[in-house]
Structure 1
Amino acid sequence: MTVQVTITPKGRMSLPADIRKWLGLAGDGALLVEETEDGVILRRVAQSIAHAQALAKMYTRGNPEATVDAFLVCRREESGE
């Protein structure tokens, strides 16, 4: 779905009702805005948490005992440093 929204002189914009409904936002919902090379991604907070957990699981290979140090060692080995 692609829609055009207008930004006011004060920098505000409104998400159309269809998008708010699709995102599951009601009333005072909160979104996180992520800038990427391709544009901007809007995610609900719960979606962002799930996304971060999926990345953590991928990078720790599902090991709940993984540490940052172990991750960095693994990344260095994979990159050939």
Structure 2
Amino acid sequence: MTFQVNITPTGRMSLPMDIRKRLGLAGGGAVYVEETDDGIVLRTVEQAVARAQAISRALLDGKEAGTVAEFIDERRRWQE
């Protein structure tokens, strides 16, 4: 879906109400703004977390993820 959003002289813009409701932003909320080569992408917090998790899974490539403590221990061993 493509729609036009006007930007006020102070730099503010509003998402249409039906989109805010569908995304769970009807009562306010945060969105993440990503600048890409193709333009600007807005993501809800939930969408941003899901995307980060998908990227992490892809980087792990089937390997088991360790704990934070294991990661810190491994980094310390690299520095020795």
Q: Same fold (TM over 0.5)?
A: yes
Counterpart in the other structure of 2:77: none
Counterpart in the other structure of 1:4: 4
Counterpart in the other structure of 1:26: 26
Counterpart amino acid of residue 25 in structure 1: L
CA deviation digits over 1:7-45, x for unaligned, max 9? Answer: 000000011112112222121211001111111111110
Task: Give TM-score scaled by structure 2 length.
Answer: 0.74
Task: Give TM-score scaled by structure 1 length.
Answer: 0.73
Structure 1 regions of 5+ residues with no counterpart? Answer: 70-81
Identical columns (%): 57
Task: Return the alpha-carbon distance in structure 2 between the equivalents of residues 28 and 21 of structure 1.
Answer: 10
Counterpart in the other structure of 1:64: 65
What's the Cα RMSD here? 1.9
- After superposing on structure 2, the runs of 4+ consecutive aligned residues of structure 1 that deviate more than 3 Å are none
Structure with greater Cα Rg:
2
Structure 1 residues 35-74: aligned runs within 5 Å: 35-62=35-62, 63-65=64-66
11-20 or 21-30, which moves further after superposition?
21-30
